[in-house]
Structure 1
């Protein structure tokens, strides 16, 4: 996987889920994480190009910055506990 691909997606200020060479990555403003196959099912069923705001809206019926922040806190927790892999640029 070319590092330039990851950096290109990280330029987008919105939260994204992308697939590269059979691996799934989620992106935020300044972070990228590799996630597991369970997330692949989410990626397939919710959308290949969904923002975090849209994900929250689909799940809860409304946009809520507080929910978005809690999701990012959870992602950080998963990364700290090595349940997902942070990809540093």
Structure 2
């Protein structure tokens, strides 16, 4: 897996192995050991992070979150795609979009 263009519903995603993580109170703290950048995320962002601890597709992640929170799927999709884009831009996840997708 590598970081590639746009993230779509068929994109396979997982946490970058070069990330150190810990919790401080209710927040997830991540540090990219390659770039030296660190990040602090709230509870929902931490759930997304945990949801990609093993390789999954964006579609499967959104399905799981929608079922868990009974939230409007289109609203949740937009938020998750935006957050995953942020994670990819900062080297926190690895992505792979199958050819022709």
Q: State the TM bucket, normalised to the shorter chain.
A: 0.3 to 0.5
Larger RCO of the pair (alpha carbons < 8 Å, separation 6+): 2
More helix by percentage = 1
Largest Rg, 1 or 2: 2
